[in-house]
Every structure is written in structure tokens, then in C-alpha cells.
Amino acid sequence: MRVLMPRWRGSYEDENRFVNEMSTRWGGAPDLILYARLYWMYSSLEFDEINIFTDGAADWKLMKKGFSSMVARYPHSDLVLNGFAKFACIAADKEQFAQLRPALDKRLSASAWSDKVSLTSCDVKFESKAPVH
């Protein structure tokens, strides 16, 4: 994945092609868990300096299904739960983030977050802005 990154003369299209090929490698429907994990890895390689959905070519609907499957498969994984919340934030999916957020108070996994995308920054991003009187 690293050699396909734009900083190494690759492109977002190269990354997307690789993720799609790998997640459908064994034919049929894409392995959405693998799709989500590969884009999670790619975002980490970019140090969360890009938005993989708006700058890159990741598909939040597919990642969301992959993360939902991961949470179902690994219900006790704090890392997966926090990763799901982080990408809901990056994708600007306020409803999904709000659904996951209460569990993070007791299940925080600092290793899922970064300086660029922190739980605090996501909380601020989705704060409801009440009108000032």
C-alpha cells in the first residue's frame, strides 16, 4: 500500500484499485471487513492527514458495513469500536458517531485515534450548535 500512495508517485486511484482488488480477490462480493481494514491501514499510513473519503476514493457505505461486521465479529474489541467511531467522524456521519459515542466513555482505545483525528476533535465537530439569544 505504501508504494501506491500519492507521496510515492502513486495515486488515490491506485490505492482504491488495490483495495478493491484485494477485497474481492477470492471472487464474488467484496469482503467488506477486509475493505474497511485496508482503508484503515491506508489512513494510518497517511497519518490521518487526508480524508480518505473526500481526498481519496474510499466508500463510507462499504466501510461502514465492514466495521459493523467487525463489531459483530469482535464485540469485545475496544480498538475496533473506536476505529469505527473514528471513521464515522472522518466520514461526517453524525448519526453513526452519536450511536457509538456513549460506549467510548468506558471503552476508549487511545491507539485508534491520532493527533489529527482525536475523540475530542470529533466531539467538537458534532456538537449541536444551539442558537445564542
Tens of each residue's pLDDT in the chain, 133 residues: 889 988 888 889 999 999 999 999 777 778 999 999 999 999 999 999 999 999 999 999 999 999 999 999 999 999 999 999 999 999 999 999 999 999 999 999 999 999 999 999 999 999 954 444 4
Give the pLDDT score at 132: 45
Please tell me the pTM assigned to this model: 0.90
- The reported pLDDT for the residue numbered 11 is 87
Distance CA 92, CA 97 (A): 8
Q: What cell does 118 get?
A: 482525536
Q: Can you read off the three cell numbers belonging to residue 88?
A: 464515522
Residue 21: count of CB within 10 angstroms of its CB: 10
How far, CA to CA in Å, does 60 sit from each of 28, 29, 32, 68, 91? Answer: 20, 17, 11, 12, 7
